[in-house]
Structure 1
């Protein structure tokens, strides 16, 4: 499972989804899907823009959690 920490990161920065969408030029609907962890695929350019705007590394945004077997 991949955990997306966008909601936590935006909360820490007191930034809204709309502000992030404006600063990254990513559709608000796409930001919302990432925020609520509903997105199935992530565009690498989007990851690049989000990391640049939030001044983070990819591993700050995404976390791999192994499935329990």
Structure 2
């Protein structure tokens, strides 16, 4: 199982789901599902785009539990 820290990271950077979706081109629904930790499948390209946009590593975004 993976834990997604997107909501925590976005909160620290004071970003909204709509900001991230607009700036990255990622579908708003996808960002929302990651934010709420309800996503069951995510493309690697989305993870890469989010990490680049937020200037973080994959390990900071996702944690194995």
TM-score range, shorter chain: over 0.9
Gaps of 5+ in 2: none
Aligned to 1:19: 19
Structure 1 residue 23: Cα displacement: 1.1
Q: Give the TM-score normalised by the residue count of structure 2.
A: 0.97
Unaligned stretches of 5+ in structure 1? none
Give the count of matched residue pairs.
65
Moved over 3 A (4+): none
- Provide the secondary structure at the position in 2 that maps to 1:19: helix
TM-score by length of 1: 0.91
Q: RMSD of the TM alignment (CA)?
A: 0.5
The CA distance in 2 between the partners of 1:7 and 1:35, in whole Å, is 5
The structure whose Rg is larger is 1
